[in-house]
Structure 1
Amino acid sequence: MRPVPVVVHLTGLCLAVTTVVALELGAAAPSPGEVTLPGPATGGATAGGPTTGSGPTTGSAPARESEPRPAGVRVADLPPGPEFPRHGTGTWRVVPGGIGTTGVQYSVEVEEGVTVPQGDDSFAAVVDFALAHPRGWSRVQRFRRVAAGGEPELRVRLTSQDTARRLCGVELPYDTSCRIGDSVYLSAARWFRGAHAYGGELRAYRTYLVNHEVGHFLGHGHVPCPADGAPAPVMMQQTLSTANDELAAITAGVDQGVVITADGKACTANPWP
């Protein structure tokens, strides 16, 4: 989430890749305006977190938090939900499979010691979806996923809470993700639980998380909410808040690459660039 001493940015995949993702999930290939996001795991406390439905959804997010936070809970706190992987080995396994034919080569990886309830492929499907969707970075950059043995230019890594905190830093007392060099480290705590700003829309939040950190890989920095009621820019730190007043207070005195002004502007959650 925060900028790290190395540049952070990313891009997206072509529609053909989106079609492949849908086929891998056993669904009919959607038309350009109907691409849907793979659903989260189901079946128990470790199934991957809150959601507002059991079937696939579009990547859209709620306009505001769908439920008020309990008293004393801060917007940047980790939401309640299922258990998530707290510890890992600091090494990553590559998820098998490839998609796309041209563009930035990326691998999808899961830290050893981290178990994805529906399997590693379910994590990869969301990453592929986000990078291939026509509303994503694919508008300006194509992506191609490579399997183990390939030569990735970008590594998208699902990372345990402890490892993410060690790599991404703890200047802010919240679980965040980050990009370091050619690797994007996605916090498993956030992948399983989401963020209050998304009001329980875990699938939309996961799409945001991929797009935000890949945006860093592509060279984009953090930005504030531009206008009250507008969709939040994907490079806004939506994990922490979609309101400038709250972000200004949360990040005060901590270098995040941009100084947020408390100007009263509050955006709505948005997972797309």
Structure 2
Amino acid sequence: MGKRADRKQRTTRRRRKGSRARIACGVALLAVMMAGAGAAVAHYRDTGVRERPVADAEPVILETPATHTPARSPSPSPSPSASKKPEPSASSSPSPSPSSTRIDVPAVGPGTFRTAQADSSVVGEGARVRRYKVVVEDGIAIDPGAAADEVAAILGDERGWTEDGVNSFRLVGSGSYDFVVKIATPGTVDRICGAAGLLTRGEVNCSVGTDVVVNLKRWVLGSPEFAGPIGEYRALIVNHEVGHRIGHGHETCPGPGRPAPAMMQQIKGLQGCVANAWPYDGSGKYLGGPSVP
């Protein structure tokens, strides 16, 4: 009996010891698992902070609200009358044909300008004749006279603002004027527009006071949102900024597949519309859209 009792006691002690060992092992394993989970959470949070996407950095066109308060609301979409001209062919109403010569785009210029010595006749039948000059910043490889010819062709096009029956335009090289088209380097654009509190970031144009400020980068390179030839994009620049000068505000896309209004900020995206440089079509229909507050 004594030997049996000793064996029984030793068996009981081994079982207790094994249970304690298993418990200790389980606790240790649980601690390892919790530590691993904590490390995973810490890594996730740290990664999330570092990889958060930044805000969209695409340029926007910002302009002085007072400058662009519409003096009148353009007709949303007037129906062409029987007296309107038929749709012109490409040959009867050509788009401007800029030179194919490569033009460098300096980051900044001296801020002084050369004036195109030009004095044209009035284009349009509107009673409000707006006299304008064209100037080019010194150091830019653009001839002021050639630039003035191109701007005049845009403002005299029958798809342009003269079609409203209110406005006419006359290019002048001296004397009084209603506005001046300034083609300038990105740095000079930022300075002129920035003086009025506008943020152009060296990328876009602006319209302030009597100045229609054209960014050389856009004049030469166009916009990734505009698939047409560079002459058409230059027409959009002039029509958009001069549109502000004569009292038009921003508009947006009227519907998928329709022409984007000339007063739409097309550089920010077309919203389903088709790129378009002109405020009117060849039959006299206004290519507008809903107003942007």
Distance 1:184 1:154, change over 3 A: same
Secondary structure of the equivalent of 1:185?
A: strand
Secondary structure of the equivalent of 2:108?
A: coil
Partner residue in 2 for 1:158: 183
Secondary structure of the equivalent of 1:142?
A: strand
1:218 aligns with 2:246: yes
Partner residue in 1 for 2:113: 92
Secondary structure of the equivalent of 1:270?
A: coil
Partner residue in 1 for 2:270: 242
Moved over 6 A (4+): none
Secondary structure of the equivalent of 2:268?
A: coil
Partner residue in 2 for 1:127: 151
The Cα of 1:90 is off from its aligned counterpart by 2.0
The Cα of 1:32 is off from its aligned counterpart by 6.2
TM-score for the superposition, normalised by structure 1 = 0.64
Distance 1:8 1:130, change over 3 A: farther
> In structure 1, what is the Cα distance between the partners aligned to 2:202 and 2:275?
19
Identity %: 34
The Cα of 1:8 is off from its aligned counterpart by 4.0
Distance 1:121 1:8, change over 3 A: farther
TM-score for the superposition, normalised by structure 2 = 0.60
Secondary structure of the equivalent of 1:109?
A: strand
1:271 aligns with 2:277: yes
1:109 aligns with 2:135: yes
Deviations 1:40-90 (A, max 9, x none): 2224x43xxxxxxxxxxxxxxxxxxxxxxxxxxxxxxxxxxxx31322222
- Which of these residues, 233, 256, 279, is aligned with residue 205 of structure 1? 233
Secondary structure of the equivalent of 2:276?
A: coil
The structure, 1 or 2, with the larger RCO (C-alpha pairs under 8 Å, 6+ apart) is: 1
Distance 1:159 1:172, change over 3 A: closer
> In structure 2, what is the Cα distance between the partners aligned to 1:109 and 1:32?
31
1:37 aligns with 2:95: yes
Query: Larger C-alpha radius of gyration, 1 or 2?
Result: 2
Q: Which runs of 5+ in 2 are unaligned?
A: 1-60, 71-86, 124-128, 280-293
Q: Which runs of 5+ in 1 are unaligned?
A: 11-30, 47-82, 244-265
> In structure 2, what is the Cα distance between the partners aligned to 1:134 and 1:38?
13
1:144 aligns with 2:170: yes
Deviations 1:206-264 (A, max 9, x none): 00000000011011111211111110010100123212xxxxxxxxxxxxxxxxxxxxx
What's the RMSD between the two structures over aligned residues? 2.3
Structure with the bigger percentage of helix = 2
